[in-house]
Amino acid sequence: MLITMLYIITLLMVDFMSDDKEEVKRRLEGLFHVKSIEEQINRNLSEVKYKIGVISGKGGVGKSTVTANMAVALALKGSKVAIFDSDFHGPSIPKMLGVMDRELMVTKDRKIIPIEGPLGIKVISIAYFLPDKTEAVIWRGPLKKKFFDDLAMYTQWGKLDYLLFDLPPGTGDEALNLAQSIRDVTGVIAVTQPTEVSALAVAKSLNFAKKVNIRVLGVIENMSYFICGDGKKYKIFHGEGGELLSKEFEIPILGKIPIDPRVAEYGDSGYSLLMEDPDSEFSKVFFRIVDQLSKL
Ligand SMILES: Nc1ncnc2c1ncn2[C@@H]1O[C@H](COP(=O)(O)OP(=O)(O)O)[C@@H](O)[C@H]1O
Ligand SMILES: [Mg+2]
């Protein structure tokens, strides 16, 4: 508040000296506009208890799979959950939760009603705004920020225990959007594969999160092993990416997820293995992961 006041006074002094009152007015309006957007977003999210971002360094490591299945695990345990799929370049949550071909509705007071997925999971995704499922859209940085802010601000989130953000891979603008626009982010969860190549890319994202003062809640290692028909565990990918990140950033490993070919098959068909086979190793790991979330 004090910094804002000082900033305004400085602006006023500099600009009145230059006798350009229109410029002062324009800048002040800009400043208050940004403030009011932030205020509106945070007012709109005021009934959300935990706001958690899911990040990774690279695409294809299973970030969306983890987000979707964490949401299902939380919902199965009785929590009210929503997913904000803000992966501009590869939004896949609607497809994974079987709510791809739905139309968004808007209330009379111009609020977007999220799509209701399985177990009442609310879904808002960039995918619903794209003209065509496969069309390439060129998103420039400021447009992404505006879109992110608008969806955060105009969506009727309501009362939620968890809002999970499926963020785009890498250390781009979108992770910064989370830090800039949403005031009390609980933290981010990193998803890595076992390989060092994957862990290295994730380490960059985690350093970025630290720079923008977002707490890193923990790491999830995906595709850690495969359980064969004989019950034995086999490591498919070389490396201990989860352990490496846990040590380097002093964060807990929230879970090591096995490879299960049904995950990809169900994901493509809009089902979650957690609902179809809750006793599978994959499902059990997810139930253990979400048990830790409210304690972090
Ligand atoms: N543990 C797993 N076992 C089997 N397939 C998986 C697993 N995790 C992810 N997949 C599959 O790998 C592909 C990439 O996962 P996805 O979640 O889309 O990655 P990202 O969001 O990081 O790009 C998807 O087809 C998904 O079904
Ligand atoms: Mg994804």
Beta carbon of 221 within 6 Å of any ligand 1 atom: no
Question: Percent of the chain, pLDDT > 70?
Answer: 87
Question: What would the mean pLDDT of 11-15 be, rounded to a whole number?
Answer: 55
Per-residue confidence (pLDDT) for residue 15, from 0 to 100: 53
Question: What would the mean pLDDT of 86-109 be, rounded to a whole number?
Answer: 93
Q: Going by CA atoms, what residue is nearest to atom 2 of ligand 1? A: 259
Q: How far is the CA of 130 from the centre of ligand 2 (A)?
A: 16
Least confident of 170-174, 242-246, 286-290: 170-174
Q: How far is the CA of 29 from the centre of ligand 2 (A)?
A: 37
- Residue 67's pLDDT band, with cuts at 50, 70 and 90, is very high
**With contact defined as beta carbons under 8 Å apart, do 63 and 166 qualify?**
yes
Q: Going by CA atoms, what residue is nearest to atom 25 of ligand 1? A: 264
Q: How far is the CA of 83 from the centre of ligand 2 (A)?
A: 12
Per-residue confidence (pLDDT) for residue 169, from 0 to 100: 86
Q: How far is the CA of 17 from the centre of ligand 2 (A)?
A: 52
Closest ligand 1 atom to Cα of 191: 22
Nearest ligand to the CA of 285 is 1
Per-residue confidence (pLDDT) for residue 13, from 0 to 100: 57
**In the 8-state DSSP scheme, what is residue 46?**
T
Q: Going by CA atoms, what residue is nearest to atom 11 of ligand 1? A: 264
Residues 6 or more apart whose Cβ sits within 8 Å of residue 92: 64, 85, 127, 166
Please name which of 52, 116, 121 lies closest in space to residue 290, comparing C-alpha atoms: 52
Per-residue confidence (pLDDT) for residue 8, from 0 to 100: 60
Question: Which uninterrupted H or E stretch holds 6?
Answer: helix 2-17
Question: What would the mean pLDDT of 88-96 be, rounded to a whole number?
Answer: 92
Per-residue confidence (pLDDT) for residue 141, from 0 to 100: 76
Which has more pLDDT, 131 or 247? Answer: 247
Please check the confidence at residue 24 and state whether its pLDDT lies above 80. Answer: no
- Residue 57's pLDDT band, with cuts at 50, 70 and 90, is confident
Beta carbon of 63 within 6 Å of any ligand 1 atom: yes
Per-residue confidence (pLDDT) for residue 88, from 0 to 100: 85
Per-residue confidence (pLDDT) for residue 4, from 0 to 100: 58
* Burial of residue 142 (number of CB atoms within 10 Å: 0-12, 13-18, 19+): exposed
Please name which of 207, 165, 205 lies closest in space to residue 50, comparing C-alpha atoms: 165
Question: What would the mean pLDDT of 54-83 be, rounded to a whole number?
Answer: 96
Give me the residue spans of the domains in the chain. 33-293
Beta carbon of 264 within 6 Å of any ligand 1 atom: yes
Nearest ligand to the CA of 127 is 2
Choice from 56, 65, 222 to test ligand 1 binding pocket (greatest atom count within 8 A of CB):
65
Please name which of 100, 84, 103 lies closest in space to residue 150, comparing C-alpha atoms: 84
Please check the confidence at residue 28 and state whether its pLDDT lies above 90. Answer: no
Which has more pLDDT, 26 or 181? Answer: 181
Per-residue confidence (pLDDT) for residue 183, from 0 to 100: 86
Per-residue confidence (pLDDT) for residue 72, from 0 to 100: 98
Per-residue confidence (pLDDT) for residue 5, from 0 to 100: 60
Per-residue confidence (pLDDT) for residue 94, from 0 to 100: 97
Residues 201, 134: Cα–Cα separation, whole Å: 27
Please state which CATH class domain 33-293 belongs to: alpha beta
**With contact defined as beta carbons under 8 Å apart, do 162 and 71 qualify?**
yes
Question: Percent of the chain, pLDDT > 90?
Answer: 70
List, for residues 127-169, the tens digit of each pLDDT value. Answer: 999 887 777 777 777 888 899 999 999 999 999 999 999 998 8
Beta carbon of 223 within 6 Å of any ligand 1 atom: yes
